[in-house]
Amino acid sequence: MQKQIVDPLDLKTYPAACLRTKTVDVKDFTEETRGMVRAMADLMYKNQGIGLAAPQAGLGLSIVIVDAGCGLKVFINPKVVKRSREKDTLEEGCLSLPGVGVNVARPKEIEIRAKDRDGNVVSGKFDGLEAKAIQHEIDHLYGKLIIDYMNPVARFISAGRFKREMRKKRFGDTIKVL
């Protein structure tokens, strides 16, 4: 059995300050780094998310994970190096904003450069839900949330709904929770 070197992580929800704090790059790729990635994956799967960024677990590091149905992908210190001009819109949810769905327009296709959990440079092209999830998670590394894409009226209307849903901590069936 693998020794658990990182304690289970808790999900941080809005307005936790860690969600608004820019992360720092990972410099050392150690057993602890890999343990954090495993603990993040446990937290994401437990909450049925399809992506998670380190700030959502209270970690100030540039780590995102995504599993949009094609297996777990780990991106450490990720950078978007190319984006398609063409955008499309998806109603996105966020594990840190229970009950809130926001229509967000993002590039359809992106190219990412990052490191894997052993510190190797990795790159890849993504589209569809995976591309959306990766962009959503990278926003988290800069303290950006889906509510920042709302217009002020929509934000005002959803504030009441958000407060109610925070108490229930659940989503409707149709929103993709990233």
Please report, as residue ranges, which positions from 119 to 178 form the binding site for Ni ion (by CB under 5 A). 178
CB-based contacts of 137: which residues, under 8 Å, 6+ apart? Answer: 51, 52, 53, 64, 65, 66, 75, 178
Nearer to Ni ion, 102 or 114 (CB): 102
Tokens, residue 168: 């229930």
Residue 114 φ/ψ region, left for φ over 0, alpha for ψ in the -120 to 50 degree band, beta for the rest: beta
Residue with tokens 């994956």: 41
Is residue 109 among the annotated active site residues? no
Alpha carbon of residue 89 to chain centroid: 17
> 29 vs 149, which CB is nearer to Ni ion?
149
Query: What span, in angstroms and rounded, lies between the C-alpha atoms of 53 and 91?
Result: 19
Residue 91 CB, shortest distance to Ni ion, in Å, is 13
Nearest distance from C-beta of residue 137 to Ni ion, angstroms: 7
Which residues, numbered 57-116, are part of the site for Ni ion (CB under 5 A)? 94
Catalytic residue among 109, 130, 137, 165: 137
C-beta of 58 vs 119, nearer to Ni ion: 58
Q: Closest distance between Ni ion and the C-beta of residue 1, in Å?
A: 31
> For 157, what's the count of Cα atoms within 13 Å in the CB-facing half-sphere?
7
Q: How many residues bind Ni ion (CB under 5 A)?
A: 2
Distances (CA, A) of 104 to 141, 145, 175, 178: 17, 11, 12, 12
* C-beta nearest to Ni ion: residue: 94
Measured from the CB atom, the residue of 29 and 142 that comes closer to Ni ion is 142
Binding flags for Ni ion, 37-56, as an x/- string (CB under 5 A): --------------------
Q: How far is the CB of 11 from Ni ion (least distance, A)?
A: 10
Binding site for Ni ion (CB under 5 A): 94, 178
Known catalytic residues? 137
